[in-house]
Amino acid sequence: MRTGDDARHEPTLHTARLLLRPLSESDAAVLHELWTERDPRVPPHRQIDADGRPTVADLMESIRSNPPTTVGLLAVQHVKTGDVIGYCGLA
């Protein structure tokens, strides 16, 4: 595994198979889909509510308004396909 920073000095972690990188606005739809599949035991404030919130637009705004840091959520991207397959949190 290697670590590095991209052109904007954002934290990334690389393995042969996966890239962990800061979330981008284009990841909002994937995040929304993952939230819809959450286990019902997840706290309500971390689930899609009865009104469908957070929406993809809400998630995009959250990503846009929270600059990347060395801790927090990172997108998990499959290196060969470029598909975002999940996210993880680093503390």
Closest by CA to 23, choosing from 10, 7, 39, 41, is 10
Q: Which pLDDT does position 59 carry in this prediction? A: 95
Strands 2-5, 18-22: pairing is: unpaired
**Domain limits at 45?**
2-90
Task: Please give the angle made by the CA atoms of 74, 33 and 18, to the nearest 5 degrees.
Answer: 35
Q: For residue 15, give the DSSP letter.
A: -
Per-residue pLDDT of the chain (91 residues; tens, 9 = 90+): 555 544 455 678 899 999 999 999 999 999 999 999 888 898 988 899 989 999 999 999 999 998 877 678 899 999 999 999 999 988 7
Q: Which pLDDT does position 82 carry in this prediction? A: 96
Count how many domains the chain has.
1
Q: Which pLDDT does position 3 carry in this prediction? A: 52
- 3-class DSSP state for residue 10? coil
Q: Which pLDDT does position 72 carry in this prediction? A: 84
Instruction: Say how far apart CA 41 and CA 49 lie, in whole Å.
Output: 14
* Distance from chain centroid for Cα 16: 20
Q: Residue 74 CB: number of other CB atoms within 10 A?
A: 22
